[in-house]
A and B are shown apart, each in its own frame.
Chain A
């Protein structure tokens, strides 16, 4: 079964608008972390934001916020005031609770975001 599901292969948004990228996950581990990465056309993987399973507050980093709904197992990324430079592939990923190198990242299929002027 898919552990991380991103149901939107592509999204577009008008510059300066907000956009939500969906991510649902599946785990039975009570301790896990959720990450979002951005991959621009240049190919590098850029870390954006992290949410821990025990965190009470939704994570925010500048224009990025994570809408974490634990009961629904969703961790949607919200980008406010979109900029042209936000056009990229966005990946949701989960890291489960074992330490010591066991906690690999499991990635979703990604959502390609296009920001239009």
Chain B
């Protein structure tokens, strides 16, 4: 059973298009996250949701809109894609204590042409 799943794994699209990435976790966690890994492999938080409520929005352009229909799902919609959006996007989930491990999905490699 996959704990944190993301679809699609690869996404290739043209500049200006709108695309979505879906994430689901079956771990019963309260909190879900989106991280972006750039071409230099640097990982940075984008958003976190706790019980469907947006908690962290880390100065991400408002072309990125996360949506959490329920605790088990956190989707990421990106409008008007730009070349600089090309990256690997990871979804993660955890419980809320400092000691709780964040478990990551397999990542979605987004390429904007």
Q: Which residues of A contact B (CB under 8 A)?
A: 31-33, 35, 37, 39, 43-45, 47, 50, 52-53, 89, 91, 93, 95-97, 99-107, 109-110
Q: How far is the CB of B28 from chain A (nearest CB, A)?
A: 15
Query: Which A residues lie within 8 Å of B43 (CB)?
Result: 91, 93, 105, 107
9 example contacts (A-B, Cβ-Cβ < 8 A) are as follows A45-B104, A50-B101, A95-B102, A100-B96, A104-B33, A105-B35, A107-B42, A107-B44, A109-B40
* B86 adjacent to chain A (CB < 8 Å): no
Q: Which residues of B contact A (CB under 8 A)?
A: 30-31, 33, 35, 40-45, 48-50, 53, 55-56, 58, 88, 90, 92, 96-99, 101-104, 106-107, 109
* Partner among A39, A91, A97, A109 whose Cβ is within 8 Å of the Cβ of B98: A97
Query: Which B residues lie within 8 Å of A107 (CB)?
Result: 42-44
Query: Does the CB pair A31–B98 fall under 8 Å?
Result: yes
Count contacts between A and B, CB distance < 8 Å.
76
Q: Provide the bound-state CA to CA distance between A37 and B41, in Å.
A: 13
Give 16 A-B pairs besides A37-B104, A44-B106 with Cβ atoms closer than 8 angstroms. A35-B102, A45-B104, A45-B107, A47-B104, A91-B43, A95-B102, A97-B98, A99-B97, A100-B31, A100-B50, A101-B31, A102-B48, A104-B33, A105-B43, A106-B45, A107-B42
